[in-house]
Amino acid sequence: MLELLKKQVYEANMELPRRNLVTYTWGNVSGIDRESGLFIIKPSGVDYDKLTPDDMVVMDLDGHKIEGNYNPSSNTDTHLELYKAFDMLGGIVHTHSPWATSWAQSSRSIPCYGTTHADYFYGEIPCSRSLTDEEIKNNYEKNTGKVIIETFSFKDPLHIPGILISNHGPFTWGKTPDEAVHNSVVLEEVAKMAYYTEQLSVTIQCAPQKLQDKHFFRKHGANAYYGQ
């Protein structure tokens, strides 16, 4: 079932350790087939060096396992909530990559200090509020998804393809699983650059809005001209 998507999701998951975004099993990638309403996600707690495409788990948007020999990722309900809320998403990534997670553990959004950030994220990369005790106790993973949705009430998830969950770590997304991983790699680099920028200047300001606009919209939207 959905063999091509299984392979795509498997390959996207395998990119995480290659890009130094995960330690042990600290991450997962999913991808959705909108026509069938099914999504595929990494199994929970399985080492990357033991994974195969056939190990990927097929889920429906009601949270039922449709196919797979393993339990799905413990973050499955977060992915599910995002797929239901944002129909433009085709892939989602969660990691505990150190630079982005450091900002998340500090409960800080990442300001846009330069053009590398602006090429991919239109404005600051937001950090969510902390979950309440009740949200942690009951349906924690589902409520993690809901706090992401809440944070994006007035934001375009394709203009800002990622978030930091306060005290936890980053989620990114894209139109495909590969694009979601690409955005995760960029987020980690941007988080590192922002940290170093703040060490070098205590008076640093966000990049001028005109510069942010130029760099984002030359790669995105109807008038984009970057690339072939």
Catalytic annotation on 178? Answer: no
SS (H, E, C) 29-70: EEEEECCCCEEEECECCCCHHHCCHHHCEEEECCCCEEECCC
The residue among 61, 102, 96 whose CA lies nearest residue 82 is 61
Could you say which of 119, 140, 178, 196 is catalytic? 119
What are the phi and psi torsion angles at 97 (to 5°)?
-60, 140
Tell me how far apart the alpha carbons of residues 108 and 110 are, in angstroms, rounded to a whole number.
6
Among 24, 54, 196, 226, the active-site one is 226
The question of whether 196 is a catalytic residue gets the answer no
Could you give the residue numbers annotated as active site? Answer: 119, 226
